Amino acid sequence: MEKKSPLPLNNAIANKKKEQLCSKESLVKILRWHFRYPDFRGMQLEAIQAVLSGRDCFCLMPTGGGKSMCYQIPALAKTGIVLVVCPLIALMENQVMALKEKGIAAEFLSSTKTADAKNKIHEDLDSGKPSIRLLYVTPELIATPGFMSKLKKIYSRGLLSLIAIDEAHCISSWGHDFRPSYRKLSTLRSHLPDVPILALTATAVPNIFEAGMLFYILPFFRVQKDVVDSLQMQNALMLKTSFNRPNIYYEVRYKDLLEDAYADLSDTLKSMGDVCVIIYCLERSMCDDLSAHLSQSGISCAAYHAGLNNKMRTSVLDDWISSKTKVVVATVAFGYVFPFNFCIFLQFMLALLVVDIYCILYLKML
Q: Quick check: pTM over 0.85?
A: no
Question: Which residues have CB under 8 Å from 197's CB, separation 6+?
Answer: 56, 57, 162, 163, 164, 165, 188, 189, 231, 233, 236
Q: What confidence tens digit (pLDDT) does each residue in 111-163 have?
A: 888 999 999 999 999 998 999 999 999 999 998 999 999 999 999 999 999 99
As for how many domains the chain has, the answer is 2
Report the distance separating Cα 245 and Cα 228, nearest Å: 26
Q: Specify the higher pLDDT residue, 107 or 21.
A: 107
Mean predicted lDDT score pLDDT of the chain: 80
> Quick one: average pLDDT of 320-339?
74
Extended beta strands in the chain, E state? 57-60, 81-85, 106-109, 134-137, 160-165, 197-201, 237-240, 248-254, 276-281, 301-304, 327-331, 342-347, 357-364
Structural contact between residues 113 and 89, judged by C-beta atoms closer than 8 angstroms:
no
Q: What is the pLDDT of residues 213-237, one digit of tens each?
A: 444 434 455 778 889 999 999 999 9
Shared domain check, 295 and 193: no
pLDDT digits (tens, 9 = 90+) for 8-18: 434 443 455 55
- 226 and 258 share a domain? no
Of the candidates 185, 191, 194, 192, the residue with the CA atom closest to the CA atom of residue 229? 185
Q: Residue 80: CA atoms inside 13 Å, Cβ hemisphere, count?
A: 22
Q: Are residues 170 and 74 in the same domain?
A: yes
231 with 275, same domain: the answer is: no
d(CA 89, CA 335): 10
Please indicate, yes or no, whether residues 206 and 311 belong to a single structural domain of this protein.
no
Q: Is residue 213 part of a domain?
A: yes
SS3 of 129, please?
Answer: coil
Domain residue limits at 226: 7-240
